[in-house]
Amino acid sequence: MLREGIAAFSLGMAFLAAGAAVAADTTADNVPWAERAITRHVDQATLGGKLTQKQLDDLADAGEKLFSVRFTLADGVGRPMATQAITPVKRKRPVKDAFFRTAGMDSNGCSSCHNQPFAGGAGDFAVNVFVSEGFTNADFDTLDPQFSNERNTNHLFGSGLVELLAREMTSELHQLRRDAVAKARASGEEIKLRLITKGVDFGTLKIMPDGMIDLEGLDGIDTDLVIRPFSQKGVMTSLRQFTVNALNHHHGMQAVERFGIRWTGETDFDEDGKSDEVTPGDVSALVAWQATLRPPVQEVPADKAWQEAARHGSEVFDTVGCNSCHIRALPLKSLEFADPGPFDAAGTLRSGELPDQPIYDLALTDWASRLEKDDQGNWLVPLFGDLKRHRIADQRNPALGNELLAQRFVDRDVFQTAELWGIASTAPYGHRGDMVTLDEVIRAHGGDAEPVTKAYKALEENDRSALIAFLKTLVIE
């Protein structure tokens, strides 16, 4: 069982119960006091096809353990001769200090930062990370924003549903583009294509008669029309990409699928004496656990006055226009989560590289039955977001545009709409986590959100209070 493969303690107890002479081999990795977190790796070859309930539960349990442990030197924590870059880059000289808050590594466990209200959640200001986009071989010991973007930790609950939405929306946009190109070539006429999927408008494409495409009209999406739903800038395609990136950046734990012999020609790219630190199966376990995390919910307060205020606040939410970006729910056709996904790039395991694509059926989770459906049979994902990037700051409201480094060619004042589900459980707010109340972060919205902010400020105090009462019902159980 995968659960047993990860659990070191039970293995060690069985070893002692058998009467073995432990003193004869106190350096063995499988003794209960061994200073390592991973005692056996998950074998990707054992995963294939649609996993049964038990297989999925065991894989997710293995992922939860990996997410919650504290990696050690025996596991390969640290990257003395590799940088924090998302591509394999060697250092020119060994790192002076293994732990380094600004350039990483900054933690030896995922749950060190993702812990509010519990593992998989958000993080306080104290565990902010520093995104050093573009710096591949340099350490820096300053908080000056010209060197890094300081970011607060997002929660991961419901992330499997978010990725599935992004995949379906990407597929629909690609199909719209293919059909428009075929029509333009067949008709010999220019076509202007509106890119709308699941009710979200991503601008236009102009298709020339020869099939060439003018991309100037795109809005809130990359030119390849791939929706990247993770990170505050919306630049991470999948949980798998996010996981592989984070393991190296934050922990110095390097995944074989990116830092192994296929792409680097080495089994110990960071030269820390540990080969093949994180296997594809280990990454799959981490993805399975994150993908099956239950989505946040709207809680009904016990207090009658709060119930009434929240009901009124829900109406105010729509009246002032918050729902124009924070869309209450998006429809999802399928709960089957293929891993790896269809849009991952080089550096992560990809679906065509496996003989039998593993599929995690989220319908097997204990929370799936609580999702509502629309009249077409789609599951409704109540994320309060649109998976689109928007300009969120301007000269009058610059607070949310304080970053100086562009990330993946996304403008500094542009961020993906933050999903509001779980917001009552994940203070503080803002991409830097430096705003401590909902009222504060709402007032900080500028750019595309300026009309909504203006409408919010013009509300009567009772209406503003009711809106906060409503947002305070969006919790992680």
Instruction: Give CATH 1.10.760.10 domain extents, the chain.
Output: 297-328+382-475
Q: How far is CA 297 from CA 23, 265, 279, 315, 476, in A?
A: 52, 46, 34, 18, 6
Residue appearing with tokens 């809680």: 299
- pLDDT tens, N- to C-terminus, the chain (477 residues): 444 444 443 333 332 333 333 344 445 666 778 889 998 899 999 999 999 999 999 999 999 999 999 999 999 999 999 988 888 999 888 888 888 888 788 999 999 999 999 999 999 999 998 886 555 556 666 667 767 788 999 999 999 999 999 999 999 999 999 999 999 999 999 999 999 999 999 999 999 999 999 999 999 999 999 999 999 999 999 999 999 999 999 999 999 999 999 999 999 999 999 999 999 999 999 999 999 999 999 999 999 999 999 999 999 999 999 999 999 999 999 999 999 999 998 899 998 899 999 999 999 999 999 999 999 999 999 999 999 999 999 999 999 987 877 777 888 899 999 999 999 999 999 999 999 999 999 999 999 999 999 999 999 999 999 999 999 999 999
> Any bridge partners for residue 192, and if so which?
206
pLDDT number for residue 406: 76
Write out the CATH class of domain 297-328+382-475. mainly alpha
Separation CA 397–CA 400 (nearest Å): 8
pLDDT number for residue 15: 29
